[in-house]
């Protein structure tokens, strides 16, 4: 048995912009890995399209993918239709589970908003709350500059998050509300 390398992410598996995932795939494509072992499909991705792309990239790199919870092994060049169908079904249910969790979160937020005394959550990136109102924070202009660089594709999401000392999800949420930043 060869060396064992552990790749970890602190963010959710709903996207592939995670640093651990990116490092894992780079090592796989550089020929540094023979096999990848995960507990469940959700540790790879919670999106059917991302899961399929990941499996294809691993197969192209000659790397096996082992899913422990299902006793499933995808081997490069192995064209077992049953294994492939099971893998795809696992992806469907994993994405469904992620979508249901997001829907529950939205419902919980909506329920809290209907309650008296709801004061919203944290202020958006670059803002502060003063007397229940949003005001530009000390780093507002830095946030705008970094978000502009990201929109112009001069830096990626991870680099923007690093520069603003936040997570990539925070960058994505800020970009969803680009009007707050005059973008």
Taking only the tens place, the pLDDT of each residue in 138-152 is 888 899 889 999 988
Mean per-residue pLDDT for 1-26? 75
Q: Are 129 and 123 in contact (CB under 8 A)?
A: yes
Say whether 37 sits in a helix, a strand or coil. strand
Predicted confidence at residue 104, as pLDDT, reads: 81
User: Would you place residue 79 in the very low, low, confident or very high pLDDT band (cuts 50, 70, 90)?
Assistant: confident
User: Could you tell me which residue, 160 or 19, shows the higher pLDDT?
Assistant: 160
Q: What is the DSSP letter of 85?
A: H
Report whether pLDDT(12) > 80. Answer: no
* Closest CA relative to residue 45, chosen from 85, 9, 5, 81: 9
0.75 exceeded by pTM: no
Q: What is the b/e burial string over 12-27, where b = at least 16 CB atoms within 10 angstroms of the residue's CB?
A: ebbbbbbbebeebbeb
Angle of CA points 60, 65, 71, to nearest 5°: 150
């Amino acid at each position: 048995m060869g060396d064992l390398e552990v790749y970890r992410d602190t963010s959710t598996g709903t996207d592939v912009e995670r640093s651990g995932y990116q490092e894992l795939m780079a090592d796989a494509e550089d020929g540094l890995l023979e096999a990848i072992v995960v507990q469940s499909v959700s540790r790879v991705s919670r999106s059917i399209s991302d899961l399929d792309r990941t499996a294809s990239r691993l197969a192209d790199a000659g790397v096996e993918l082992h899913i422990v919870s299902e006793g499933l092994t995808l081997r490069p060049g192995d064209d077992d239709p049953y294994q492939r169908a099971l893998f795809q079904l696992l992806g469907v249910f994993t994405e469904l589970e992620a979508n249901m969790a997001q829907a529950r979160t939205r419902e919980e937020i909506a329920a809290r908003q209907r309650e008296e005394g709801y004061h919203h959550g944290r202020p958006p990136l670059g803002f502060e709350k003063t007397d229940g109102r949003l005001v530009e924070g000390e780093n507002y202009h830095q946030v705008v500059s970094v978000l502009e660089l990201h929109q112009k594709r001069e830096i990626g999401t991870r680099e923007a998050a690093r520069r603003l000392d936040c997570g990539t999800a925070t960058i994505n949420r800020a970009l969803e509300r680009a009007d707050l930043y005059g973008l």
